Chains A and B, each alone.
Chain A
Amino acid sequence: PSLLLLLTLTKLTNCFLFSPRQEIMKWNGWGYSDSKFLFNKKGQAEFTGKRYRLSGMTLPSLQDWFENTFGASVKHKSPPVLNASVVPPPRLNEAFVENLKATGIPFSNEAEDRVFRAHGHCLHEIFALREGKKFERVPDMVVWPNCHNDVVKIVELACKHNVCLIPYGGGTSVTSALECPPEETRCIVSLDTSQMNRILWLDENNLVAHVEAGIIGQDLERLLNESGYCTGHEPDSMEFSSLGGWVATRASGMKKNVYGNIEDLVIHIKAVTPRGVIEKSCQGPRTSTGPDIHHFILGSEGTLGVVTEVTMKIRPIPEYQKYGSVVFPKFEAGVACLREVAKQRCAPASIRLMDNKQFHFGHALKPQVSSIFTHFVEGLKKFYITKLKGFDPHQLVVATLLFEGDRERVLQHEKQVYDIAATFGGLAAGEDNGQRGYLLTFVIAYLRDLGMDYCVVAESFETSVPWDRVLDLCQNVKERIIRECKERGVQFQPLTSCRVTQTYDSGACIYFYFAFNYRGLADPVHTYEQVEHAAREEILANGGSLSHHHGVGKLRKEWMKDSISNVGVGMLKSVKEYVDPENIFGNRNLL
């Protein structure tokens, strides 16, 4: 090959090859650049692109819902500022750069690459990007290791030259975990795992796969599917989040009832720390060898090292999948039903209960009906539920279901669940409603971008709580949010909505949406943060946990001591002290 070609290749390497996702993704919003909601010239909402079921469709009722819910108007636009923010110049550690060059591991200190890895998807982060606000601190360079050994070399060099490393996977954090500590004076290197994205082997005898930790959820699933398998781990962010990120944050997947949460799925973790590599010596399905060292890594949020390879359980792709839904006259009845399902341990792969607000939200996303007949059928259904069955449209809630397995078993299972639902006044409401419910979770982040185009800020947060406190917690947190908004001068009624999104034997995971129209507020992000803070205090006072699956990051650090006791914090600190005495992994999450 000619020199020219080689040069071109190098350039490509630096700009594109190692960051293809960066090229097709928004830099100041969620997801793919080609996919977004907008209100077209006719005033109707549409979802652009071709990637989703909703793509290319018009959504006639979204505008009404949007304007009525938030008191917003499509006339009041707040579009993002287009020029990218000013980026502080990189503080490079020359010796480190020299040594790194010698290893041949690709790196970059282009402003664009650095800013892209300076944030997650918290409201304040995206808001700042849209407004063109300057980040106080961003990574000074980005490295792209290609394999475990590359990571070992990078960590060794970082230790040698006292450089701060921040692991970066999918960048979907919502806990400020990726934010660079502003007080960090050392060179900050973002360690992007995206090139470590291979399935290294697959063991069908033991149904495990050995995978590099940088792989993105949807790629992992697609690749396994090609061999007839799946992990079944489907967090709502799975399009963009990485395996290593799941491990580092204790992620939870939608179908955990069948497949388990990440901690149930991993068999073996290999991670590189400043002290060296940590891993186990075997792949025994369970061991009694003292406290499980995996649990130091699970949820460590990048403070101890980088997860490089994971051995994970896999399952044959289920023969049959079926969505379903049940409407209940009231949230209380729905919760009672989910509790009973959990008690009988017959939860389908996924079962979620959306409150009335979310039910209406989901309905606002109905695409234009193609035929008069469908329209008619829809009308009939509505008539049946609200008039004949006497459900109050402002009270009723819907549970969405997803069954998986062989066909016979699914149908049997379905009947069992519907029977239980019936005893709580639940009425089966079709597959379509169910499927739309799950769709909402994949497009919700795109909708937030739409909201931000029209002066609406939004965020979600979650908790887990014992069954007997579910109702009270939902009620009190919503009320607290409404009050706090009022007290802080929010001019419009906020949207507060929740769903019971996972069930367990002894409790449930609750997921909240919270949004408000910020017109008239001087500093909407600050107001938003104050309200979220109050909401979290309310959650804790009502017996909820600090987090079910989002993690702690820097956003919720202040409550760690109360959550796990002083001794608990001390234990974590002493591990950090041993593993990383120089605080090489200096993102300052968690503690």
Chain B
Amino acid sequence: MASKTLYSQRDPMLKRDCFEDILEERRNSSDLKYALRCYAPVLYKGVTPCKANMLKNIVLQSDQLHYVINQVSQESGEAPDIIQEEASVILEEMAHRLQISTVRCFAFALSKAFKTLFQHVCVNEEGIQRLQQAIQEHPVVLLPSHRSYMDFLLMSYILYTYDLALPVIAAGMDFMGMKFVGEMLRMSGAFFIRRSFGGDKLYWAVFSEYVKTMLRNGFAPIEFFLEGTRSRTCKSLTPKLGLLNIVIEPFFKGEVFDVNLVPVSISYERILEESLYARELLGVPKPKESTSGLLKARRILSEDYGSIHVYFGQPVSVRSLAQGKVNRSTYNLFPRHIPRKPMEETQSFVNDTAYRIVRLQEDNMVLKPWVLMASLLLQNLEGLELSVLTEQTVWLRGLALSYAAFLDWPDQAPTAKVVSSSLALHRGLACVSGDRVSLVVGEPLGPVTPEEALFNRAVSVLSCASYRNQVLHVFLRPAMLAVAMHTAASSKKSEWPGLYNCFSFLWDMFSNDFILCPGDTVQDFEEACYLLVKTGAVQMPQQDIVMTDIGQPTLSFFNGLLEPFLQGYQVVCRYLCEEASEGLTEKQYIPAVRSFAVKLILAGNLRCYEVLSSDMQKNALAALLRMDAVRKVKVADQVTLIVNKMAVNSIDDILGGKLPTQKALLARL
């Protein structure tokens, strides 16, 4: 049943492009000249670029906006003029003011900065050529992965380097707090949107019309982050659909012939925000974006952050994606300028598209050897011998490659060299003492309480996990099957229907933590089987899935890989069953789980530090909510969590391998 065709269907472009280092030329020629050089990009169908002010006028005069202004005016009783004025203020606050001079400043400054921070900035030039072609033919939406503040500056920098049209970028309003920098970003093409404007019709109308106007006319490529925010864990985040809906709608309404979505994968060898993220996940709140904060970050400049790889994926045509899935003529009976909630058919299409794009981003993420080493170190928290680590890394490399991971492994260098240079670059995370390699535990400043020591250790575990997480998308499906097999082994059942049930339970459970396209359970299961069979870890005689003699290391590595997630979710379940009080509010949930876990760890009953991550806690809760084991109830201003203890308890048992995943049981949940 594991069919090769299905797997290859998902990823027809396994052959990937080569990279060029764009810093190389920067190191050999004048940055000033580069910043001042002639820049004349080609636009969509040769349109002339639109001045920021003209763009605002088009938006303010659009039928779409007028309709909403009148509607709001009727509802609120305010005169339309006043609402119109409000719209104009919103637009003023939002709109970009792209100026080539600012871009040139950035080009100069970033050249300097990149050269000190990074060894290489590598770009696939074939992707750039495809993009250039796409920009001329269709409105283009750039969808980069989001791991760092650097992302969007980096994107604009690359496009400038290759003489491509500079994108306009949707940025969160928090950036605007940074006085001077905010304006600089605005002038380099950022436009700012409020984080939440749920019920604000006028805001939504201005915002969506602004984006659509730019898209319809092809004035500039639109860029935004599908994940909505920087991923603190380096796992891809569940995509947000708001902006994607906006940029796709003009196609459904026939306002443009097609829209091209270009997934861009930006992989950092070392993330600037590495330990910052770990602290944030542990509950030290994120520092507010401020210019002075940025200056303090100057310390960063003295460190080596390795290389960046930016991979521009194959442009995805919305038209071809929608073929046979969305009937555009359903838009015929409603005036196009009146805002309307997308139909169910459209919603599920957009959702599906978003997931596929994020998976395309994942596919083209470049993985460094360190990522493999981090995965191994996390399974050996007490440390392991350098020679063993080296040997296992080489083994894991083979496994990753046979699973089509996009691994950037230096070809010529001997393995020992690769391992040691990886360790050197990440000396903040791992240290070699004698011939043992272990995770660094944050250096204690004076006397520390057991809690502080624990948090220090947690910081390095979570930092390290952020590297392991980068490889999860490669191993996830077979790993879930491995866990399912492990669970089944205790109940002596290995026929695939039972395994499938278990797999699908895990799939469902983890679908907030990982990118699992809705409705793809069967396909993912088949892919998992196919991959495990392919590497000889399992055999599938008839209805069974049986581990082979050589499969042991693979399967146990996979079990170890997902162990932190299984344990983490179980801790959450246990907390909800054992400790949670009646009126537990949503706000209290995270700190409460955290202190519950801290207690367990200090008592020596738990060795899993990752459960301290607020990300995992949130995802676990989301899964339980989805499975109806927990309900949210709004009381006054507070959202309270109502726990169905029996249901949570049985989920805990299944995760712990104590209960088979029987349909009947799941149905009762």
On A, residues with C-beta under 8 Å from B are 468-469, 472-473, 475-476, 479-480, 540-543, 562
Tell me the bound Cα distance from A255 to B327 in angstroms: 36
Known: A480-B257, A541-B327, A562-B329. 16 other contacts (CB 8 A): A468-B335, A468-B336, A469-B254, A469-B336, A472-B254, A472-B255, A473-B254, A475-B257, A476-B254, A479-B257, A540-B329, A542-B328, A543-B254, A543-B329, A543-B331, A543-B332
Tell me the bound Cα distance from A541 to B336 in angstroms: 13
Tell me the bound Cα distance from A562 to B335 in angstroms: 19
- State the Cβ distance, A343 to closest chain B Cβ, in Å: 15
Q: Mark B632-669, 1 if CB is under 8 A from A, else 0.
A: 00000000000000000000000000000000000000
A541 contacts B257, C-beta separation under 8 Å: no
- State the Cβ distance, B649 to closest chain A Cβ, in Å: 51
A542 contacts B254, C-beta separation under 8 Å: yes
A selection of 16 A-B contacts at a CB cut-off of 8 Å is: A468-B337, A469-B254, A472-B254, A475-B257, A476-B257, A479-B257, A480-B257, A540-B329, A541-B327, A541-B328, A541-B329, A542-B328, A543-B254, A543-B329, A543-B332, A562-B329
List residues of chain A with CB within 8 A of the CB of B337. 468
Tell me the bound Cα distance from A541 to B327 in angstroms: 7
List residues of chain A with CB within 8 A of the CB of B329. 540-541, 543, 562
Q: Mark B252-270, 1 if CB is under 8 A from A, else 0.
A: 0011010000000000000
User: Please, how many residues of chain B have a CB less than 8 angstroms from a CB on the other chain?
Assistant: 11
Tell me the bound Cα distance from A543 to B332 in angstroms: 5
List residues of chain A with CB within 8 A of the CB of B328. 541-542
List residues of chain A with CB within 8 A of the CB of B332. 543
- State the Cβ distance, A518 to closest chain B Cβ, in Å: 25
Tell me the bound Cα distance from A475 to B337 in angstroms: 19
List residues of chain B with CB within 8 A of the CB of A473. 254
Closest A residue by C-beta to B327 = A541
Q: Which of B329, B331, B337 has the most CB of A within 10 A?
A: B329
Closest A residue by C-beta to B330 = A541
List residues of chain B with CB within 8 A of the CB of A476. 254, 257
Tell me the bound Cα distance from A541 to B337 in angstroms: 17
Tell me the bound Cα distance from A576 to B336 in angstroms: 37
- State the Cβ distance, A329 to closest chain B Cβ, in Å: 15
The 8 closest A-B pairs by CB, nearest first: A541-B328, A542-B254, A543-B332, A479-B257, A472-B254, A476-B257, A540-B329, A541-B329
- State the Cβ distance, A391 to closest chain B Cβ, in Å: 17
Tell me the bound Cα distance from A473 to B254 in angstroms: 7
- State the Cβ distance, A264 to closest chain B Cβ, in Å: 25
List residues of chain A with CB within 8 A of the CB of B257. 475-476, 479-480
Q: Mark B327-362, 1 if CB is under 8 A from A, else 0.
A: 111011001110000000000000000000000000
Tell me the interface secondary structure of chain A in the complex: helix
Tell me the bound Cα distance from A473 to B329 in angstroms: 12
Closest A residue by C-beta to B322 = A541
Q: Mark B225-248, 1 if CB is under 8 A from A, else 0.
A: 000000000000000000000000
List residues of chain A with CB within 8 A of the CB of B336. 468-469
Tell me the bound Cα distance from A480 to B331 in angstroms: 19
Tell me the bound Cα distance from A542 to B258 in angstroms: 13
- State the Cβ distance, A562 to closest chain B Cβ, in Å: 7
- State the Cβ distance, A231 to closest chain B Cβ, in Å: 34
B112-145 interface (Cβ within 8 A of A): none
Tell me the bound Cα distance from A541 to B255 in angstroms: 11
Tell me the bound Cα distance from A546 to B503 in angstroms: 49
- State the Cβ distance, A152 to closest chain B Cβ, in Å: 43
- State the Cβ distance, B259 to closest chain A Cβ, in Å: 13
List residues of chain B with CB within 8 A of the CB of A562. 329
Tell me the bound Cα distance from A543 to B330 in angstroms: 9
Tell me the bound Cα distance from A473 to B332 in angstroms: 12
Tell me the bound Cα distance from A351 to B331 in angstroms: 29
Tell me the bound Cα distance from A468 to B328 in angstroms: 16
Tell me the bound Cα distance from A479 to B331 in angstroms: 20
List residues of chain A with CB within 8 A of the CB of B254. 469, 472-473, 476, 541-543
List residues of chain A with CB within 8 A of the CB of B335. 468
Tell me the bound Cα distance from A555 to B301 in angstroms: 69
List residues of chain A with CB within 8 A of the CB of B331. 543
Closest B residue by C-beta to A471 = B255
Closest B residue by C-beta to A482 = B257
- State the Cβ distance, B46 to closest chain A Cβ, in Å: 12
List residues of chain B with CB within 8 A of the CB of A469. 254, 336
Tell me the bound Cα distance from A480 to B257 in angstroms: 8
- State the Cβ distance, B267 to closest chain A Cβ, in Å: 34
Tell me the bound Cα distance from A541 to B332 in angstroms: 8
Closest B residue by C-beta to A478 = B257
Tell me the bound Cα distance from A542 to B319 in angstroms: 13
List residues of chain B with CB within 8 A of the CB of A479. 257
Tell me the bound Cα distance from A541 to B257 in angstroms: 11
- State the Cβ distance, A19 to closest chain B Cβ, in Å: 44
List residues of chain B with CB within 8 A of the CB of A472. 254-255
Tell me the bound Cα distance from A475 to B328 in angstroms: 16
Tell me the bound Cα distance from A473 to B337 in angstroms: 16
Closest A residue by C-beta to B326 = A541
B34-67 interface (Cβ within 8 A of A): none
- State the Cβ distance, B669 to closest chain A Cβ, in Å: 41
List residues of chain B with CB within 8 A of the CB of A480. 257
Closest B residue by C-beta to A541 = B328
List residues of chain B with CB within 8 A of the CB of A542. 254, 328
- State the Cβ distance, B498 to closest chain A Cβ, in Å: 45
- State the Cβ distance, A449 to closest chain B Cβ, in Å: 33
List residues of chain B with CB within 8 A of the CB of A541. 254, 327-329
- State the Cβ distance, A270 to closest chain B Cβ, in Å: 37
Q: Mark B360-395, 1 if CB is under 8 A from A, else 0.
A: 000000000000000000000000000000000000
Closest A residue by C-beta to B254 = A542
Tell me the bound Cα distance from A469 to B255 in angstroms: 8
Tell me the bound Cα distance from A472 to B257 in angstroms: 8
- State the Cβ distance, B105 to closest chain A Cβ, in Å: 36
Tell me the bound Cα distance from A469 to B336 in angstroms: 9
Closest B residue by C-beta to A469 = B254
- State the Cβ distance, B650 to closest chain A Cβ, in Å: 47
- State the Cβ distance, A259 to closest chain B Cβ, in Å: 30
Closest B residue by C-beta to A559 = B329
List residues of chain B with CB within 8 A of the CB of A543. 254, 329, 331-332
Closest B residue by C-beta to A483 = B257
Closest B residue by C-beta to A479 = B257
Tell me the bound Cα distance from A473 to B255 in angstroms: 8
Tell me the bound Cα distance from A23 to B292 in angstroms: 93
Tell me the bound Cα distance from A543 to B329 in angstroms: 6
Tell me the bound Cα distance from A472 to B254 in angstroms: 6
Tell me the bound Cα distance from A468 to B329 in angstroms: 15
- State the Cβ distance, A319 to closest chain B Cβ, in Å: 42
Tell me the bound Cα distance from A468 to B332 in angstroms: 11
Tell me the bound Cα distance from A476 to B257 in angstroms: 5
